[in-house]
Chains A and B, each alone.
Chain A
């Protein structure tokens, strides 16, 4: 009859789909409610995780069945419960453990649960009986007494259980087994070594229209497998790339890793709640403010989505690349962007005139496959969202009454050459317009020290790795590490040793030429005023301490222009005492100029306060 009871509840929920009715019929059990949430929204970043018998067994590494006390305690059918807090049994302890482990691995908690549950079923599936259960418990007793190490205990258990038997879907002989799954590392690399052994770089430029700002990795996507490795120092190939591109290029991806503490899943969840509250009350979100909820930045994807929506910008988490292309108005296309911001009309729109029909941020959701078959991580989606929000903020009007003409005589940062490429053109009365003016100023006779902030920004792109969530740092511009990964994979596929690959890059004119051309093309994109502005704002949103540590002048520039603009009502950026000290040293040489410009900026932002 119990089965009827469950079906009855399901029918009640179908008949009345209100939140209250669904909640009532789900009951108070943590597992049931979490399972519902996991099915309803599998890609949610709110940390729901279904702790069932297998999850407890995996958590304790014991062959437990449904009647085991540990399982009953987890489910709350035995042990303590609290009528005050609603906590039932030990469920929360396991759930938090899974959340922490997932954060370390850079995956969702429910992904950690399902993968370890499959493994523990494969380990204990045919092993579970009273005698074996006792054998496993005896091993844990030895560990508790300190006679064996944790590693030994795990090893012994694995040995007596006979190792992990593969899941049905994983067996090569099973229908739809491994053959249909994701490709190998080499298959994910765009381009491959050609028969002649020439290293090829499949980098191509090309973003459409001035009003669509694509993601940080427009042309190639690879996993951040080298995330914490300074390849330019640690590998012969990285050193060769650095040498070939020259000192001006400063190839050193991942050499500056943020020391900020990454957010825990609980903090991420709390941030969304706070953002919801502030937005609903029309209050300002204060990023980097000491002691505030966002002192270490906003690390919640959903919170960033909510801020965009508070700007009246539509925000879509796309399930697939096909959906990304469709949203971009290129249905059936093959663009490889991980996110974009699109607005109708290139001019800077005042905050109160932005509407969701004409303004859209789209981000590939965590777990969705990129064009090359890699899965987006939650951290990658989160920073991509922050970057696109950076585009929305830096492209909007600073002052609703100021003129917003196109800025003329735009120059490319890398060469100083004038360009009429409309992807470089930005409009006055916007933050990205102010960056464009700084770029112009760099090539005047008296550029002033403030242009040094451009070096900060470029170095931030080239070398920076931010803290986002535990175990999942993200490069500011992962295209640089992708460049290394591509060459590394191609050289390995060609059977080259690391030394030979390095020599190849250093000595083969064709390889050198292609590397330089590809790198320049990439930076032609990343060093546009709009991209520099979006990275500045995006990094400040995610990791303000890092931003202020490695790019204090840029951070100050953002505070001057954004905090004193109409946009400051929505989001303001703060400088903590630590960075105030740092900034005092770093910005000492520019303080007079900035103070002067700040005054003018506040009074007449639209007049081009920093125009030479």
Chain B
């Protein structure tokens, strides 16, 4: 998770943003989710999902009846991304 977070910090174009996130990382390191304030917990949740969600950025079609169908595809047949 930390590596993913560091990767995101490095890719931030705004140096102020990079510094803010770096500070956040220091607060989060070594703590459990229950120990974090909501803003820190949000970072934790986001990166936990990035690292552990097997679906990745794929996402499924939700039919009108509420059932989960196949993955969303682009015109060329490639899988759609949540980004």
Are A and B subunits of one complex? yes
Do A4 and B39 touch (CB < 8 A)?
Answer: yes
The total of chain B residues at the interface (CB under 8 A) is: 19
Contact with A along B23-45 (1 / 0, CB 8 A): 00000000000000011011101
Residues on A with C-beta less than 8 A from B39 are 4, 8
* Residue B4 interfacial (CB < 8 Å): no
The dominant DSSP class at the A interface is helix
Chain B residue nearest to A3 (CB atoms) is B46
- Distance in Å from the Cβ of A50 to the closest Cβ of chain B? 15
Q: Give Cα distance in the complex from A15 to B37, angstroms.
A: 10
Which among A167-175, A380-388, A558-566, A578-586 touches the partner chain? A167-175
Do B72 and A7 touch (CB < 8 A)?
Answer: no
B45, B62, B63, B70 pick with most chain A CB within 10 angstroms: B63
Residues on A with C-beta less than 8 A from B67 are 176, 180
A126 with B75, Cβ < 8 A, contacts A168-B69, A175-B70 known: yes
* Residue B64 interfacial (CB < 8 Å): yes
Chain A residue nearest to B67 (CB atoms) is A176
Do B46 and A4 touch (CB < 8 A)?
Answer: yes
Do B61 and A168 touch (CB < 8 A)?
Answer: yes
Do A181 and B42 touch (CB < 8 A)?
Answer: no
Do A8 and B70 touch (CB < 8 A)?
Answer: no
Contact with B along A1-19 (1 / 0, CB 8 A): 1011101111110010000
Do B42 and A4 touch (CB < 8 A)?
Answer: yes
* Residue B22 interfacial (CB < 8 Å): no
The dominant DSSP class at the B interface is mixed
Chain B residue nearest to A12 (CB atoms) is B38
* Residue B65 interfacial (CB < 8 Å): yes
* Of the residues A11, A169, A174, A176, contact of B45 by C-beta under 8 Å: A11
- Distance in Å from the Cβ of B45 to the closest Cβ of chain A? 6
Residues on B with C-beta less than 8 A from A181 are 65
Residues on A with C-beta less than 8 A from B70 are 168, 174-176
Contact with A along B47-66 (1 / 0, CB 8 A): 00000000000000111110
Q: Give Cα distance in the complex from A174 to B73, angstroms.
A: 10
Within 8 A of B (CB), among A173-190: 174-176, 180-181
* Residue B81 interfacial (CB < 8 Å): no
* Of the residues B38, B43, B64, B75, contact of A169 by C-beta under 8 Å: B64
Residues on B with C-beta less than 8 A from A126 are 75
Do A168 and B42 touch (CB < 8 A)?
Answer: no
Number of A-B contacts (CB under 8 A): 47
Contact with B along A372-383 (1 / 0, CB 8 A): 000000000000
* Of the residues A1, A9, A169, contact of B69 by C-beta under 8 Å: A169
- Distance in Å from the Cβ of A264 to the closest Cβ of chain B? 26
Residues on B with C-beta less than 8 A from A1 are 17
Contact with B along A412-456 (1 / 0, CB 8 A): 000000000000000000000000000000000000000000000
Do A169 and B61 touch (CB < 8 A)?
Answer: yes
Do B43 and A168 touch (CB < 8 A)?
Answer: no
- Distance in Å from the Cβ of B15 to the closest Cβ of chain A? 14
Within 8 A of B (CB), among A509-549: none
A176 with B69, Cβ < 8 A, contacts A1-B17, A4-B43, A11-B45 known: yes
Chain A residue nearest to B80 (CB atoms) is A168
Chain B residue nearest to A42 (CB atoms) is B66
Residues on A with C-beta less than 8 A from B63 are 169, 176
Do A168 and B46 touch (CB < 8 A)?
Answer: no
Chain A residue nearest to B33 (CB atoms) is A11
Q: Give Cα distance in the complex from A181 to B72, angstroms.
A: 20
Within 8 A of B (CB), among A1-49: 1, 3-5, 7-12, 15
Within 8 A of B (CB), among A80-105: none
- Distance in Å from the Cβ of A242 to the closest Cβ of chain B? 39
Residues on B with C-beta less than 8 A from A174 are 61, 69-70
Q: Give Cα distance in the complex from A474 to B68, angstroms.
A: 34
Do A11 and B41 touch (CB < 8 A)?
Answer: yes
Q: Give Cα distance in the complex from A145 to B67, angstroms.
A: 46
- Distance in Å from the Cβ of A42 to the closest Cβ of chain B? 9
Residues on A with C-beta less than 8 A from B17 are 1
Q: Give Cα distance in the complex from A181 to B63, angstroms.
A: 10
Q: Give Cα distance in the complex from A8 to B42, angstroms.
A: 5
Q: Give Cα distance in the complex from A5 to B39, angstroms.
A: 7
Residues on B with C-beta less than 8 A from A180 are 65, 67
Residues on A with C-beta less than 8 A from B62 are 169
Q: Give Cα distance in the complex from A175 to B72, angstroms.
A: 11
Q: Give Cα distance in the complex from A1 to B39, angstroms.
A: 11
Do B65 and A8 touch (CB < 8 A)?
Answer: no
Residues on B with C-beta less than 8 A from A8 are 38-39, 41-42
- In order of increasing CB-CB distance, the 9 nearest A-B pairs are A175-B70, A7-B42, A8-B42, A169-B63, A176-B69, A11-B38, A168-B61, A4-B42, A12-B38
15 A-B pairs with C-beta separation under 8 A: A4-B42, A4-B43, A5-B42, A8-B39, A10-B42, A11-B38, A11-B41, A11-B45, A15-B38, A168-B72, A169-B63, A175-B61, A175-B69, A176-B69, A181-B65
Given contacts A12-B38, A176-B67, 4 further A-B contacts (CB under 8 A): A10-B42, A168-B69, A168-B73, A169-B61
